[in-house]
Every structure is written in structure tokens, then in C-alpha cells.
Chain A
Amino acid sequence: MLMEVITTAKYGLISDRRSYGWILTTTIGPFFLMAPFVLMAESLVGPGGRFNEPFFEATGYSNYLGWLIIPLIALNTMNTVFSNVSQSLHAQKTFGTLERILVSMQYPSSLLIGRCISHGTFLLWFVGVLAGLSFLFLGLEVNVNAVSAVVVIAGHLLAVYGMAFAFASMFLWIEDAFIVQTALSRVVFGLFTGATFPLSIYPDWVEWLARLIPFTWAFDLERRAFLLAEPLPSIAPDLSILLGLTLVWWIIGYGCFRIMLNYSKRKGRLGIY
């Protein structure tokens, strides 16, 4: 399986190098989506947060820009991961090569894991540029605990890839799944993870459901690690919940992928044409 994963990752890197347009798009594009949100907040509470007293009361954070920007960077990063994993399947489906590739692979999941590894190298660049632009143009200020930050990011990425597996299954099932995936990652995760407003504005049952999404915990932990510099022992209880939910999503994702793959093979839905 390792050889299959490495080969797929290598193939992913080679094919990504053939087209530079997407790198440019996914590097600068998310800043254009994120910045209006932050500027909207600034328009409402005033430059420097003159009118943001209610914000203090609700969250306890003083750095309202950071409170918004940190999860927005994470949200955009998640979206690029979902797009990449799902697109790798969709592209193979459109070009009609998915069936051929899956015949030559002993472990079909290595197609996704390999793509994830090749895309992982791009993520460093993606997050770096987005954070750099936020420091430069949006006045992002952080107060980081490096150990907590690294651990939380690792946990978050694991959760993202677990869910990406589940999304990839959707691509085997729905013909035009890209738009569904975009709506899910931009709207559902934007609305129900507390990325830009606290979940306390919802009724209790919605808040309870939202807490089943690992990213709800991940965003909160990232804020605490990047803005309040909380040490690892302090975030450990919530971190363990994040890791537990991540494990559940990996199991769901892997299971869904296997079921959908078998179903698609049986029904002849692996190729679009």
C-alpha cells in the first residue's frame, strides 16, 4: 500500500506542476474571499474595534480581528483540501481513467491518501501566503503558544482529511458533487462551526448538533492556541474531543468510500460517459 500511496503522491505532484493557474487561484483567491468578511466586521465595529463592547462580553477575546481571521484561514484551507481530494476523483471520472486506475490498484484508498500527501506540500504555501497577507493588509496580531498551535493544527488537518474521504464518496455518488461540496464546506461549516460568530446565538439543540462537527472544536482550539497562547495541558480536554471526533470521521469516511466504490462499480457509475 505504501508504494501505491507514494506513486500516487508523485503522480499528483507531477500533474499539479503541469498547470500553474490553480496554484495562483488558490493562493490569492481565498484572500479576496476572506478580506471582505473582516472589513465588514471593521465597518460595523469601527477601525480598532471602537464599538465592539458586545463582542468582548460574548467571547472574552480582545483581539476581534484575530478572532475572525484565524478560523477564516482554517476554513479556506479546509475548502482547498476538500476541493483537491474530491476533484482528483472527479477529474479521473470525467477523463474516464478512474476505472483503469482502480483496476491497477490493490488499495483504492491509496488514490486519495496519495493525493492528500502531494497536496499537503501545497498547504504549507497556501496557509503561509494567507497568513502573510492577513498580517500585511488586515492587521492580524497573534499571541501564540507554539506547541499547542502545532498539535491543534495537526489534529485539525487529520479531521479535515477524514471528512475529505467522506466527501470523496459523495463524488462517486452525485454527478455534480463539486457544487454540493462547496456549499457544504463554505456554508454548513461557515454557519455551524462558530467560525465567525459563537454558537450561543442558536437554540440549544442546534448548538449540540454543531458540537458533533470536529471543526467546531478545532476553531475554538486554534483561537486559544493562536490568540490566548494557552499551553497544551489547558487545551488537552477539548483536544481529546477533537481527536475522538476525528477518529469517528475517519471511520465514517473510509467506510463510506468503500461502500460507494463497491456500489459505483456494481452500477457502472465510475465513468461519467
Chain B
Amino acid sequence: MIGDDGHSQSRAREVGSAIYTIARNELLLQTRYRTKFLLDLFSPVLALAPIMLTAYFLTSGRESGNLAQSVGLPDHFTFIMLGYMAFAALGVGNPIMHYTGSAWTMRMLQETGVLERNLLAPMPREALILGTGLYYAVLYLFHVAYVLAASLIFLDLDFALTASGIAVAGGILIAMSLMAILLGFLMSAVSLVMRDGSVALLVIHRPFLLLTGAYFLVELLPQPFRFLAMVNPLAYAIDAFRGSLSSSTLLLPLAVECFIVIVSTVLIGIVGIWVFRRILDRQLRTGELSIY
């Protein structure tokens, strides 16, 4: 038994080391394209600028009569920034960032013909996604950190900070980072099947911008999008993050939203890994894995 434990510990260390190596490799790869890397780092600011300026113009300032009436949070900068921070942790749908995420990495490995070779390495195949996912999760958390810091320093947001609220917000951010990594399995599977990285963008990235209500009221969504947003766990994750740092949540009570976030993270992981394995096995069997 002691031997088994030692073996499993050493195996876990090997897998951990492989994930770290892949994440580091992704970082080295990304830094080779300096312009893209620089824009990847600061894309949330670029994406936020037109949103904030439009919001400022529409209300001739920072106070929105409609938000005050329907949410009880008149400062729209707080409403938008908190939603956007949570959204940034997921890293999906940012229109400035391109060719990012596990799906793009898989696509690139497939295009350059090294995917099959990488899968021969003595490590679980899932480590490939977990490694690239880890790199992107760190990048997205960096986005959240500096958007939060800039908001606190320059924007004087109307936070309702409590110790428990900060703890919940931190927990939700971790859950969302996990979600982002696990969603990578689904996105990679879509990318492998469709043989087109842009389809993952269509199926997963783009709709999330609309179906999460990151910086607008979900109740204003027309059907069928409102229904899709209401069954989208990411909408609850964003609302829970905003609710934990402001006064209240919009969709459901905070505790229920946290429960939904935890359950959906586990489910996304189970379904994502299962689908990814199935598709990878099939493509390895049929020889569809390489493009050429």
C-alpha cells in the first residue's frame, strides 16, 4: 500500500510537472509574437474603453436612472466594471483577443502537424489542455487584477465591501478560472471536430458575451436569448461576483448562485473531459487528427 501511495504521488508529480511545462511552453510561444502578447495583456482595457465612454455619454455622467430603479445601483461604472471583471476571468468573448485559449492552441498544433507527436508523450492527454488552460487562467486573472486595481485607484467605484463578500468574490473567481480551463476541453473538442478554430469562437466565445449579461441587464434580453442566459451557469457566476462586491444579486440569492457555480464547474469538467476523450480517441483511430 505504501508503495502504491508513493507511486501515485510520484505520478501526480509527473503530471503536475507536465502541466507546468506545457503552460510554460505556451507562455514562451506567446511571447514570441510580441505584438499579440502585448495586446493580449492589455486587451480588456481596450475592450472596455468604448463601453465606458458610450455609457458615460448616454447618461451624461455616471448615474443611470434605470439602473437605480431596477437594480438599486445608480453608478453604472460599478455595475459595468464588476460584471466585466468577472467576465474577464472567464476570458471568453473579448473581441480584441484572437487566437487565444485551448481551442486555438489545439488548432495550431493540428495545423503545424505536431499534435499527434505531442500526444505520444508519456502523460495523460488531458494534460495538454490543462497546461494551456493554466497559462490562460493566469493571464485572465492578471486581467482581473489590474482592472480591479485601476478601478479602485481611478474610478472610485461604489463597492459594498465586506470580509465575507471579498471571500465569496475570491472563491467565485477561482471557480470561474477552473470553469475557463475546463471549458477548454469542450472548445478543443469542437475545434478538432470542425477542423476550424473559428467555429469554437462562434459556438462558445461570442454567445457568452450576450448570454451572461456581463454589462447589461439580462431581463432586457429578447427571447430566446433570455431563456438561454437563464440556463447559462456563467450568467449566475458573473451575477454572484457582482453581487458579492456590491449590494445584491439580480438573478437569484447569492448562496443559490454560488451553489450553481460549483455544480456547473464540476459538470462542465465531467462533460468536457468525456467529450474531449471520445473525440480524440475517434480521431486517433480514424487518422483524422492531422489535417494533412
| Chain B residues, Cβ within 8 Å of A28 | 202, 206
Contact of A24 with B66 at beta-carbon distance under 8 Å, contacts A51-B59, A137-B225 already known: no
Distance between B238 CB and nearest chain A CB, rounded to angstroms: 12
Contact of A32 with B210 at beta-carbon distance under 8 Å, contacts A21-B199, A43-B217, A176-B33 already known: yes
Cβ A22 vs Cβ B66 within 8 A: no
Distance between A124 CB and nearest chain B CB, rounded to angstroms: 20
Distance between A140 CB and nearest chain B CB, rounded to angstroms: 12
Cβ A42 vs Cβ B33 within 8 A: no
Is B227's CB within 8 Å of the partner chain A? no
- A90–B53 CA distance with the chains assembled, in angstroms: 33
Cβ B54 vs Cβ A43 within 8 A: no
Contact of A41 with B58 at beta-carbon distance under 8 Å, contacts A178-B98, A187-B96 already known: yes
Which of A109-117, A145-153, A189-197 forms part of the interface with chain B?
A189-197
Interface positions, chain B 125-153, Cβ under 8 Å from A, are none
Distance between B231 CB and nearest chain A CB, rounded to angstroms: 17
| Chain A residues, Cβ within 8 Å of B49 | 187, 190-191
- A179–B54 CA distance with the chains assembled, in angstroms: 23
| Chain B residues, Cβ within 8 Å of A22 | 196, 198
Is A40's CB within 8 Å of the partner chain B? yes
Is A232's CB within 8 Å of the partner chain B? no
Per-position 1/0 for B210-227, Cβ under 8 A of A: 100011110011100100
Cβ B53 vs Cβ A197 within 8 A: yes
Contact of A36 with B196 at beta-carbon distance under 8 Å, contacts A51-B66, A54-B58 already known: no
| Chain A residues, Cβ within 8 Å of B217 | 39, 42-43
Contact of B196 among A19, A32, A45, A175 (CB under 8 A): A19
| Chain A residues, Cβ within 8 Å of B43 | 183
Is A29's CB within 8 Å of the partner chain B? yes
Cβ B99 vs Cβ A179 within 8 A: yes
Contact of A37 among B54, B93, B206 (CB under 8 A): B54
Cβ B35 vs Cβ A182 within 8 A: no
| Chain A residues, Cβ within 8 Å of B215 | 36, 40, 43
Is A198's CB within 8 Å of the partner chain B? yes
Q: Residue on B with the closest CB to A181?
A: B98
Cβ B206 vs Cβ A191 within 8 A: no
Is B251's CB within 8 Å of the partner chain A? no
Contact of A43 among B67, B98, B222 (CB under 8 A): B67
Contact of B80 among A19, A29, A40, A51 (CB under 8 A): A40
| Chain B residues, Cβ within 8 Å of A58 | 57, 60
Is B36's CB within 8 Å of the partner chain A? yes
Per-position 1/0 for A146-184, Cβ under 8 A of B: 000000000000000000000000000011111110110
Cβ A33 vs Cβ B65 within 8 A: no
- A179–B97 CA distance with the chains assembled, in angstroms: 7
Distance between A193 CB and nearest chain B CB, rounded to angstroms: 10
Is A104's CB within 8 Å of the partner chain B? no
Is A266's CB within 8 Å of the partner chain B? no
Main secondary structure of the interface of A (DSSP, over half): helix
Cβ B194 vs Cβ A21 within 8 A: yes
Q: Residue on B with the closest CB to A201?
A: B57
Count of chain A residues near B, Cβ 8 A: 49
Distance between A182 CB and nearest chain B CB, rounded to angstroms: 6
Is A44's CB within 8 Å of the partner chain B? yes
Cβ A44 vs Cβ B55 within 8 A: yes
Contact of A33 with B206 at beta-carbon distance under 8 Å, contacts A137-B225, A179-B35, A183-B96 already known: yes
- A132–B195 CA distance with the chains assembled, in angstroms: 29
| Chain B residues, Cβ within 8 Å of A178 | 36, 98-99
| Chain B residues, Cβ within 8 Å of A24 | 199, 202
Is A46's CB within 8 Å of the partner chain B? yes
Contact of A186 with B59 at beta-carbon distance under 8 Å, contacts A32-B210, A40-B54 already known: no
Q: Residue on B with the closest CB to A197?
A: B57
Contact of A138 with B222 at beta-carbon distance under 8 Å, contacts A25-B198, A179-B39, A180-B35 already known: yes
- A215–B217 CA distance with the chains assembled, in angstroms: 30
Cβ B216 vs Cβ A36 within 8 A: yes
Cβ A21 vs Cβ B198 within 8 A: yes
Is B201's CB within 8 Å of the partner chain A? yes
Would you mind naming 22 contact pairs between A and B with Cβ atoms under 8 Å apart?
A: A21-B199, A22-B196, A24-B199, A25-B201, A36-B209, A39-B217, A40-B55, A42-B217, A43-B215, A43-B216, A44-B59, A45-B65, A46-B66, A47-B220, A50-B66, A54-B59, A174-B35, A176-B36, A178-B36, A197-B50, A197-B57, A198-B57
* Interface residues, chain A, with chain B CB atoms under 8 Å away: 19, 21-22, 24-25, 28-29, 32-33, 35-37, 39-47, 50-52, 54-55, 58, 64, 68, 137-138, 174-180, 182-183, 186-187, 190-191, 195-198, 201
* Interface residues, chain B, with chain A CB atoms under 8 Å away: 33-36, 39-40, 43, 46-47, 49-51, 53-60, 64-67, 69, 76, 79-80, 93, 95-96, 98-99, 194-196, 198-199, 201-202, 206-207, 209-210, 214-217, 220-222, 225
Having A39-B220, A41-B55, A183-B39, one finds 9 other A-B pairs with CB under 8 Å, namely A25-B198, A25-B202, A28-B206, A33-B206, A36-B209, A44-B64, A45-B59, A46-B65, A197-B53
